[in-house]
Amino acid sequence: MKYTNVLLSSVIVLGSMGTLSSASASFHTSDKIAHVAAKSTSVNASTYQNISKFEKTISSNKIVWRGDNITITANTLKLDAAADFEQNIIDTIVVTHGKEKHTLQTGDFEVKLLDITSIAQSPSNEWIAIQVEKSAGSNLILMNLKTGKYTILNERLEKAGKQDVETISSYNWSPKEDIIAFSYGNTEKSTLAIYDTKKDSVVYLPRATNYISTGLILWHKNGKSIDYISEYPSDQWILFRYDTGSKKVKPVKKITKKEFQQWFKLDKYPAK
């Protein structure tokens, strides 16, 4: 995934961290990065949701993702008149779930799609999230597997008056409900939100600071907390925690490159 690779290559190992404040201390934009709690927080897989992995295969004219009882097939075609990096586009996306089959005519989209970079299924198995790469950024398509109706989450936010929705870089479904947490923005700014598929409503998370990007979002197994790793300032990364009950965000710790890679293994992307 293009944006993920950029993230991994830009993470640096931070220096030693002495305890400077408690993890529950408030964190405002004007605070220095040193005020983030520095207590040891190891990666504990048992804390987080279990995410089913899909297998990706690529041929000359197809991109196929396979999971349990579901297959997503992107049929591609070549546009000779387009720029080199935009010549191979996705013409249709076919979603097969058991006996159900739904087709998206993506070649008719105003923004041409180049690749499918990740897939995630909701806990009820009624929804699928399809992350698609375009020439600049990524869109997130949410499809109802029963009806075939879909929402392009970027466009949903734009219609609500949000700006700078160039990319949805990180996301994950709640392990308890068909709600999805995601980060959106551009190359300079990242904002987090939660979309409820049943209510068609969006909750915007408070910004603990001016995140440049967000590289990972993981739900706790109880569905009550979300951990995410965001960049601020440039090339420095922090693990934040959002409580869905209190609707508050707190910083947990600075993240090294090695630690990030351990958290990233828990996410939806197939092993390379």
CA gap 161, 6 in Å, rounded: 28
The predicted pLDDT at position 262 comes to 92
DSSP assignment string, the chain = -HHHHHHHHH----------S-TTS---TTS-GGGS--------GGGB---PPPEEEE-SSEEEEEETTEEEEEEEEE-TTS-GGGSEEEEEEEEEETTEEEEE-GGGSSSPEEEEEEEEE-TTSSEEEEEEEESSSEEEEEEETTT--EEEHHHHHHHTT----SEEEEEEE-SSSSEEEEEEE-SS-EEEEEEETTTTEEEEPP-SS--SEEEEEEEBTTSSEEEEEEE-STT-EEEEEEETTTTEEEEEEEE-HHHHHHHHTTSSSPP-
Q: 85: left (phi > 0), else alpha (psi -120 to 50), else beta? A: alpha
CA gap 68, 52 in Å, rounded: 8
CA distances from 148 to 97, 167, 173, 241 (A): 10, 23, 19, 34
The predicted pLDDT at position 82 comes to 62
The predicted pLDDT at position 34 comes to 44
The predicted pLDDT at position 15 comes to 29
The predicted pLDDT at position 144 comes to 97
List, edge to edge, every strand of the sheet that includes 167-173. Answer: 167-173, 179-185, 190-196, 201-204
pLDDT profile of the chain (272 residues), mean per 10: 40 29 37 46 86 94 95 90 72 95 93 95 96 95 97 96 94 97 95 97 94 97 97 93 97 93 90 52
- Bridge partner residues of 63 (DSSP): 58, 74
The predicted pLDDT at position 43 comes to 85
Q: Could you give the angle at which helices 257-264 and 2-10 cross, rounded to 10 degrees?
A: 150
CA gap 195, 168 in Å, rounded: 13
